[in-house]
Amino acid sequence: MHNDEIAGIFEQLADLLEIDGANPFRVRAYRNAARLLRGLPEEAADMLARGEDLSQLPSIGEDLAGKIAEIVETGRLETLQALKKTTPAGLAELTRIPGLGPKRVRLLRDALGVKSPAGLRRAAMSGKLAQLPGFGVKTQANIRAYFDSDRSGEKRTRLADAEKVAQRLVAYLEGAADRKHIVVAGSFRRSCETVGDLDIVVASASPQKVMDRFAAFDEIATVAGKGKTRATVRLRSGLQVDIRAMELASFGAACVYFTGSKAHCIALRKRGVSKGLKVNEYGVFRRDKSIAGETEKDVYAALGLPLIPPELREDRGEIEAAEKGKLPRLVALGDIRGDLHVHTKASDGRDDIRAMAKAARARGYDYLAICDHTKHARIAHGLTPSRLERQIDRIDALNEELSGIRILKSSEVDILADGSLDMPDSVLAKLDLVVGAVHFDFDLTPARQTERIIRAMDHPAFSILAHPTCRLIGARDPMRVQMERLMDAALERGCYLEANGQPERLDLNDVYCRMAKERGLKLALSTDAHSTEQLDFMRFSLGQARRGWLSPGDVINTRSWRDLKSLLKR
């Protein structure tokens, strides 16, 4: 039993309790516990096995510690089982529909008697939905569109959560007899911010053995379908997995097909047709003779194209670019010279400056910017001017002491309601760079929000706008800002926007990364790490940047400190 599975059980319980109208504190306790478990560097099951007391963990009391133990021992939670029996199954299904949290599901039941997706569909079609408080015409239209689309309509899983499952599953499948290659394809491989399900392609001379091993994976809850070369299952965490076993000769073609996107594959097929070729998951065929299929490179070559990186396969112009030899050289981890946004335990991080600096050095970085919160962020233990001044001295001393890494003096300064910065100019002037961020008043009108941020950028010390839309995937909508205006304002003033790699943020996202590139605005790829391990979130920031077609030249932290310093000069 892994932490994310336990977290999934607590989240289900919180959803059902919330629909039921339970005490909000109780609901929040389960959600906090789930969040803690998802971020825990160690398996709770291992800690229990060593006899550790889980109630010592933050946000875990006696009761929750007992429930974790119950889940680890029995694979289930009696409280949840009991609640499931008394809650109509359709209600829980409703929470899987995008845009419908438990609060809204409760309202639907109480106001309209909706108890299932079918009931919701009727309410949307009849127009009753738009009249509910907090729903409106737009939500109704989204829900209608949802029922019109062919996707089975599952709640989507954040990329980082899917990654944990994918890693365990791949490690497990590597034990299958005769397997040659395993690729996690689909939206996961394209680094989409969320995935509907995992699509796994395995090359093997004995597909049956792969299927048999897969079917015995201990995280499987239900098997939706199983054949000789394919299977679909749902895991206990709620995630669905599709698996296909292919012969080696078709492996590349299957990877292309199952990596998608569907739109990209359709465009490839059309291109094939124009050349008298048939393209499918088994290969590229001229009449009935296979001319490619073993590797992805062969498949693209047969279509007269270079290999297109998975992150670009969205039918957003990549095939035309590939044809002209104009695919971008995408930025990669090896290009990154430092991280420009991390926290320490001075504010809400876990580790101290020295530990963060050493961890950055171990990752081959040349520099690392310490950006603790400022005092307005009280719950994050934000720094007062005098605490920041002391931190600046501390960094000077550490820079004398440590070799091989330069610690940059910075701060994640709150952008206040009127656009001023939450730190006096005299202190800002001592920093190497200033990262500005909005942490409250998210719902101003787009024009006012934009002006607030531009006002902050007007400050000559301002360098980088952190997580520009402030969205939390699946939890908080992006703030409404006029993004083109913001980007142009940054360009005019010589400041930059951030692509934040926190798994629930991914902000800017792929579309905005590409928008920045097209306007000539460079971005900072940062992790917003709150612990040494989170420095590895750079891969998620890179995922969105690559989906946004960014090359090393489009990213400021691919530069040496000397060059970065002159880019930061306004």
**Three-state DSSP state, 407:** strand
**Three-state DSSP state, 367:** strand
Answer whether 107's CB lies under 8 Å from 132's CB: yes
Q: Give residue number: closest CB to Ca ion.
A: 186
**First-to-last C-alpha distance (Å) of the chain:** 52
**Partner whose binding site includes residue 310, from Ca ion, ligand DGT, none (CB under 5 to 8 Å by kind):** none
**Partner whose binding site includes residue 258, from ligand DGT, Ca ion, none (CB under 5 to 8 Å by kind):** ligand DGT
Q: Cβ closer to ligand DGT: 195 or 292?
A: 195
Answer whether 247's CB lies under 8 Å from 240's CB: no
Shortest CB 81 distance to ligand DGT, Å: 29
Shortest CB 199 distance to ligand DGT, Å: 5
**From candidates 5, 161, 197, 311, binder to Ca ion by CB under 5 A:** 197
**From candidates 257, 367, 496, 537, binder to ligand DGT by CB under 6 A:** 257
The reply to whether 197 sits near ligand DGT by the rule CB under 6 A is yes
The reply to whether 509 sits near ligand DGT by the rule CB under 6 A is no
Q: Give residue number: closest CB to ligand DGT.
A: 260
Shortest CB 240 distance to Ca ion, Å: 7
**From candidates 4, 5, 11, 242, binder to Ca ion by CB under 5 A:** 242
Three-state helix/strand/coil letters over 485-523: HHHHHHHHHCCEEEEECCCCCCECCHHHHHHHHHHCCCE
The reply to whether 537 sits near ligand DGT by the rule CB under 6 A is no
**From candidates 3, 187, 237, 463, binder to ligand DGT by CB under 6 A:** 187
Shortest CB 156 distance to ligand DGT, Å: 7
**From candidates 102, 260, 309, 548, binder to ligand DGT by CB under 6 A:** 260
Shortest CB 258 distance to ligand DGT, Å: 5
Give the total of residues touching ligand DGT (CB under 6 A): 14
Crossing angle of helices 136-148 and 117-126, rounded to 10°: 120
Answer whether 256's CB lies under 8 Å from 299's CB: yes
56 CA to centre of own chain = 29
Q: How far apart, in whole angstroms, are the C-alpha atoms of residue 124 and residue 101?
A: 16
Q: Cβ closer to Ca ion: 242 or 554?
A: 242
H or E stretch at 525? strand 523-526
Binding segment for ligand DGT (CB under 6 A), chosen from 130-138, 189-197, 334-342, 373-381, is 189-197
The vertex-420 CA angle with 416 and 426, nearest 5°, equals 120
**From candidates 18, 199, 422, 451, binder to Ca ion by CB under 5 A:** 199
Cis bond before residue 508 (omega within 30° of 0): yes
The reply to whether 420 sits near ligand DGT by the rule CB under 6 A is no
Q: Which two tokens stand for residue 327?
A: 């695919």
Binding segment for ligand DGT (CB under 6 A), chosen from 80-88, 98-106, 185-193, 492-500, is 185-193
Q: For residue 295, give the DSSP letter.
A: S
Q: Cβ closer to ligand DGT: 260 or 478?
A: 260
The reply to whether 195 sits near ligand DGT by the rule CB under 6 A is yes
Shortest CB 149 distance to ligand DGT, Å: 11
Binding segment for ligand DGT (CB under 6 A), chosen from 187-195, 345-353, 439-447, 487-495, is 187-195
Give the total of residues touching Ca ion (CB under 5 A): 5
Q: Which two tokens stand for residue 368?
A: 């690392």
In this structure, which amino acid lies at residue 416? L
Q: How far apart, in whole angstroms, are the C-alpha atoms of residue 265 and residue 185?
A: 13
Q: Cβ closer to Ca ion: 163 or 432?
A: 163
Tell me the residue ranges of DSSP E strands in 206-303. 220-226, 230-235, 240-246, 277-280, 283-286, 289-292
Three-state helix/strand/coil letters over 175-231: CCCCEEEEEECHHHHCCCCEECEEEEEEEECCHHHHHHHHHCCCCEEEEEEECCCEE
Residue 399 falls in which region: left (phi positive, over 0), alpha (psi -120 to 50) or beta? alpha
**Partner whose binding site includes residue 266, from ligand DGT, Ca ion, none (CB under 5 to 8 Å by kind):** ligand DGT
Q: Cβ closer to Ca ion: 124 or 201?
A: 201
**Three-state DSSP state, 446:** helix
The reply to whether 293 sits near ligand DGT by the rule CB under 6 A is no
**Three-state DSSP state, 279:** strand
Binding segment for Ca ion (CB under 5 A), chosen from 197-205, 328-336, 347-355, 378-386, is 197-205
Q: Which two tokens stand for residue 419?
A: 């656009």
**From candidates 117, 119, 196, 252, binder to ligand DGT by CB under 6 A:** 196
- 44 burial level (CB within 10 Å; 0-12, 13-18, 19+): buried
Q: Cβ closer to ligand DGT: 257 or 285?
A: 257
The reply to whether 238 sits near ligand DGT by the rule CB under 6 A is no
H or E stretch at 6? helix 3-19
**From candidates 102, 119, 186, 238, binder to Ca ion by CB under 5 A:** 186
Residues engaged in binding ligand DGT (CB under 6 A): 186-187, 192, 195-197, 199, 257-258, 260-262, 265-266
Residues engaged in binding Ca ion (CB under 5 A): 186-187, 197, 199, 242
